[in-house]
């Protein structure tokens, strides 16, 4: 009788643990899709930026076009992160250079694009933060005992962080 | 810690709703007793009425509060920057995007309402949109999002609507008493009703005040702290609070009941933390923010 009770309790614990790990895995996937959505959104916006800045800031424009053309769609996480970083930098430079042209600065389309693109950059930064937090949670969960045994059976491996350099968030906020 | 906060808020809401239910039943019971003079009819009317009004208040209180304050929806076309800032913060917190509303007002203020994160509204004044830069707005919106995440909005919204309702009812009780006393003066049971009505009238403003205190102050500090946790930039919120303090004029035609909802005291009374103030003083809030990290 006691043995049956113990087995039932163990089974219940196993089910709970399994569900816990599965839901953590799903959370990571959702967090990743947030980043992915914003990266795609940015790639959709950039052609408009290139179009509207035609005739201005030529050097920065061409550099951005080249970078976009070299885009590698099936890259590893770390490569995507690196690529995203370069695109970010170049978009920001182009936006900053474009600010020097008064006609462009007054252009309604450019103004909205600027807000949208800066917003997307922020969103990528926050989505990355959220993703990395979730991944950290997941990685801890599958390494501690006894979760690691179950994780091994479920073939869950440690996930890669979406990271280039650590203190980038602080660097962006030079204000005040 | 957030989970504990959420559970506490849900318990508080349950408490408020139950209290509301009992009070409304009693109020309507005594009211209908005056008119029908039959306790069975009165208790039936009382119960039906309070069941209906509880449901209506629970599901529509956010809409009631928005219309009291004359807010309208902030479309993406008209207010692009604020919408994008809010979207960004939602990604950071993993919360669903709340509806964004604006109030036409020169004063600088904001509030959140709704009953859960999926039915939530953030409302800002047009003055706030004009005067704050992106990082300051980020701080204010993150503060409001924390209220949503902690379910503070549930407690405060429900409390405001329900307390307002009870106040109206007890007011009616007073009038009913006057109406009655001019008709027949020789009824003995009426004096009891009058007495209870009187107690209600005396108690309801105190009750309303107590509720306001139940839902305010400490959670403002908590929301400030979680806002910084979200934006990882305390300077934004600090300078937003300073601007709100320095540039804001007292809001005209603000409904007294909804005061405690706002991020800063809408009537701008001389601030010093006392038991009766609905908001912690901005100076204290900034001090606490500066102590983070």
Closest residue of chain A to B235, computed from CA coordinates: A176
Q: Which residue has the higher pLDDT, B167 or A109?
A: A109
**Residue B211 domain-assigned (yes or no):** no
- What SS3 class is residue A163? coil
**Domain membership flag for residue B46:** yes
pLDDT tens sequence across B214-253: 665 678 888 898 899 888 888 999 999 999 888 877 776 6
- Residues facing B116 on adjacent strands: B119
Q: Is residue B160 part of a domain?
A: no
Lowest mean pLDDT among B24-28, B128-132, B135-139: B24-28
Same domain, B90 and B6: no
Residues B117 and B186 in one domain: no
Closest CA to B107 of B260, B252, B275, B278: B252
Select the residue of A119, A169, A175 nearest B135 (Cβ to Cβ): A175
A174 interfacial to chain B (CB closer than 8 Å): no
Quote the pLDDT of residue B254. 67
Q: What is the pLDDT of residue B212?
A: 64
Residues in A touching B94 (Cβ below 8 Å): 31, 130
**B141 near B85, Cβ under 8 Å?**
yes
Answer whether residue B76 is part of any domain: yes
Does any domain span residue B189? yes
| Chain A residues touching residue B227 (CB < 8 angstroms) | none
What is the three-class DSSP state of B107? Answer: coil
Residue A54 pLDDT: 81
Q: Look at residue B184 in the predicted model and tell me its pLDDT.
A: 52
Contact B160, B258 (CB under 8 A): yes
Indicate whether B205 pLDDT > 70.
no
CA dihedral B45, B47, B49, B54 (to 10 degrees): 180
My answer on whether B149 and B226 are in the same domain is yes
What does pLDDT average to over chain A? 84
Which pLDDT does position B217 carry in this prediction? Answer: 67
Q: Give the start-to-end residue ranges of the domains of chain A.
A: 2-170
Q: Is residue B252 annotated as part of the catalytic site, yes or no?
A: no
Q: Which among B73, B87, B138, B144 is annotated as catalytic?
A: B144
Report chain B residues whose CB lies below 8 A from the CB of A130.
91-94
Question: Is there a domain that residue B39 lies in?
Answer: yes
Same domain, B146 and B76: yes
Q: DSSP character for B74? A: -
Asked if residue B227 and residue B202 are part of one domain, the reply reads no
Instruction: Report how many domains make up chain B.
Output: 2
pLDDT at B270 over 60: no
Q: Locate B112 and state its tokens.
A: 């959140």
Per-residue pLDDT, averaged over A84-103, amounts to: 86
Q: Are B240 and B271 in a shared domain? A: yes
Could you tell me if B239 and B147 lie in one domain? yes
Residue B138 sits in the same domain as residue B96: yes
Measure in Å the smallest separation between the Cα of A55 and chain B Cα atoms. 26
> Would B212 be classed as within a structural domain?
no
Q: What is this structure's pTM? A: 0.79
Q: Are residues B280 and B235 in the same domain?
A: yes
CB B217 within 8 A of CB B280: yes
Domain shared by B6 and B114, yes or no: no
pLDDT digits (tens, 9 = 90+) for B167-204: 777 667 666 655 555 555 445 556 666 676 677 767 76
CATH number for the domain spanning B239: value is: 3.30.2010.10
State which residues form the domain around B222: 71-153+217-290
Q: Does A176 score more than 60 pLDDT?
A: no
- At A11, the pLDDT band (50, 70, 90 cuts) reads very high
Task: Please check whether residues B140 and B75 belong to one and the same domain.
Answer: yes
Architecture category of domain A2-170 in CATH: Up-down Bundle (1.20)
Please, is B61 exposed, middle or buried when counting C-beta atoms within 10 Å of its C-beta (0-12, 13-18, 19+)?
buried
pLDDT at B65 over 90: no
Say yes or no: B101 and B145 in one domain. Answer: yes
Task: Answer yes or no: are the C-beta atoms of B145 and B122 closer than 8 Å.
Answer: yes
**How far apart, in whole angstroms, are the C-alpha atoms of residue B149 and residue A52?**
40
Residue written as tokens 């239910």?
A: B21
Name the DSSP letter for residue B262: B
Residue found under tokens 């990882």: B232
Contact between B83 and B35 under an 8 Å Cβ cutoff? The reply is no
- A interface test, pick of B82, B83, B86, B91 with most A CB neighbours within 10 Å: B91
């Amino acid at each position: 009788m006691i043995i049956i009770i113990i087995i039932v309790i163990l089974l219940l614990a196993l089910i709970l643990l399994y569900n816990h790990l599965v839901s953590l895995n799903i959370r990571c996937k959702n967090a990743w899709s947030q980043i992915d959505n914003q990266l795609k959104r940015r790639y959709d916006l950039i052609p408009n930026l290139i179009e509207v800045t035609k005739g201005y800031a030529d050097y920065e424009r061409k550099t951005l076009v080249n970078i976009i053309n070299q885009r590698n769609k099936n890259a590893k996480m770390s490569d995507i992160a690196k690529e995203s970083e370069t695109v970010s930098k170049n978009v920001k430079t182009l936006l900053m250079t474009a600010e020097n042209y008064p006609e462009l600065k007054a252009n309604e389309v450019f103004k909205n694009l600027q807000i949208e693109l800066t917003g997307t950059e922020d969103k990528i930064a926050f989505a990355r933060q959220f993703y990395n937090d979730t991944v950290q949670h997941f990685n801890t969960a599958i390494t501690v005992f006894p979760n690691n045994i179950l994780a091994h059976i479920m073939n869950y491996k440690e996930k890669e962080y979406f990271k280039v350099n650590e203190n980038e968030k602080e660097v962006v906020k030079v204000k005040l | 810690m957030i989970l504990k906060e959420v559970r506490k808020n849900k318990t508080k809401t349950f408490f408020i709703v139950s209290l509301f239910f009992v009070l409304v039943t009693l109020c309507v019971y005594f009211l209908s007793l005056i008119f029908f003079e039959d306790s069975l009819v009165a208790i039936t009317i009382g119960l039906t009425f309070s069941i209906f009004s509880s449901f209506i208040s629970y599901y529509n209180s956010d809409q009631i509060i928005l219309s009291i304050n004359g807010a309208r929806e902030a479309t993406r076309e008209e207010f692009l920057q604020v919408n994008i800032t809010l979207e960004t913060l939602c990604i950071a917190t993993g919360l669903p995007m709340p509806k964004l509303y604006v109030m036409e007002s020169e004063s600088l203020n904001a509030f959140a309402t709704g009953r859960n994160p999926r039915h939530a509204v953030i409302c800002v004044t047009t003055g706030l949109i004009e005067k704050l830069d992106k990082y300051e707005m980020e701080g204010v919106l993150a503060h409001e999002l924390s209220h949503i995440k902690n379910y503070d909005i549930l407690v405060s919204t429900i409390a405001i609507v329900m307390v307002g309702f009870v106040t109206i009812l007890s007011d009616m009780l007073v009038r009913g008493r006057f109406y009655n006393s001019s008709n027949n003066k020789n009824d003995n049971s009426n004096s009891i009703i009058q007495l209870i009505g009187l107690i209600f009238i005396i108690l309801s403003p105190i009750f309303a005040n107590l509720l306001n205190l139940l839902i305010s102050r400490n959670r403002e500090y908590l929301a400030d702290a979680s806002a910084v946790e979200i934006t990882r930039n305390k300077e934004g919120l600090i300078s937003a609070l300073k601007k709100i303090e320095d540039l804001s004029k007292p809001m005209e035609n603000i409904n007294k009941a909804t005061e405690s909802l706002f991020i800063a005291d809408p009537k701008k009374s001389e601030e010093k933390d006392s038991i009766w103030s609905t908001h912690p003083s901005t100076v204290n809030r900034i001090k606490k923010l500066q102590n983070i990290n």
